[in-house]
Structure 1
Amino acid sequence: MAYVFLTPVALVMALLVFFPLVQGIAFSFTDMNQYNMGNAFSEPSYQFVGLENYRNVWADLVAADSTLRPILVQTAIWTFVNVFFHFTIGLGLALLLNRPIRGRTVYRLLLLVPWAVPSFISALAWRWMFNGSYGFFNLVLTELGLPPINWLGDPFWAMVAVIMTNVWLGVPFMMVTLLGGLQSIPRSLYEAAEIDGAGRWKQFWHITLPMLKPVATVATLLGIIWTFNMFNVIYLVTQGGPVQATEILVTFAYREAFQNWNFGMASTYGVIILSILLVLSAVYLRAMKAERVEGVMD
Structure 2
Amino acid sequence: MAAHTSQSVAKAAGDESDVARGRSRRTDGPQRAANRGGLKRAFATHWYAWAMIAPVVLVLGIIIGWPLVRGVYLSLTDANERNVARTIGANHIEATYTFVGLDNYTAVLSDPVFWQRLVWTVVWTVACVTVTFALGLALANMLNRDFKGRAFYRMALILPWAVPGFVSVFAWRFLFNRDNGILNKLLDGGGIAAIPWLDDPTWAKLSVITVNVWLGIPFMMVALLGGLQSIPGELYEAAEMDGATTWQRFRHITLPGLRSVSMTVILLSTIWTFNMFPVIFLLTRGGPGDSTEILVTQAFREAFVSSPRDFAGSATWGVLILALLMIFALVYRRALRKQGEVW
TM-score by length of 2: 0.82
1:4-53 deviation digits (Å, cap 9, x = unpaired): 11101111111111111111111110111001111131111211110010
| Residue type at the aligned position of 1:7 | A
Partner residue of 1:67 out of 90, 100, 113 = 113
Q: How does 1:1-298 map to 2 (within 5 A)?
A: 1=47, 2-40=49-87, 41-60=92-111, 66-260=112-306, 261-292=309-340
Q: Which moved more, 1:6-15 or 1:228-237?
A: 6-15
| Residue type at the aligned position of 1:76 | V
Specify which structure has the bigger relative contact order, considering alpha-carbon pairs within 8 angstroms and separated by 6 or more residues: 1
Distance 2:82 2:227 in 1: 53
Q: Which moved more, 1:69-78 or 1:80-89?
A: 69-78
SS at match of 1:36: coil
Distance 2:208 2:305 in 1: 22
SS at match of 1:67: helix
**For structure 2, which runs of at least 5 residues remain unmatched after alignment?**
1-46
Kindly state the Cα deviation for residue 77 of structure 1 after the two structures are TM-superposed: 1.1
| Residue type at the aligned position of 1:265 | G
SS at match of 2:125: helix
Q: Which moved more, 1:85-94 or 1:71-80?
A: 71-80
Distance 1:204 1:188 in 2: 14
Identity of aligned residues (%): 50
| Residue type at the aligned position of 1:270 | G
Kindly state the Cα deviation for residue 152 of structure 1 after the two structures are TM-superposed: 1.0
TM-score by length of 1: 0.95
Kindly state the Cα deviation for residue 166 of structure 1 after the two structures are TM-superposed: 0.7
Question: Cα RMSD between the aligned structures?
Answer: 1.0
SS at match of 1:292: coil
- Equivalenced residue count is 288
| Residue type at the aligned position of 1:238 | T
Kindly state the Cα deviation for residue 157 of structure 1 after the two structures are TM-superposed: 0.4
Distance 2:337 2:145 in 1: 31
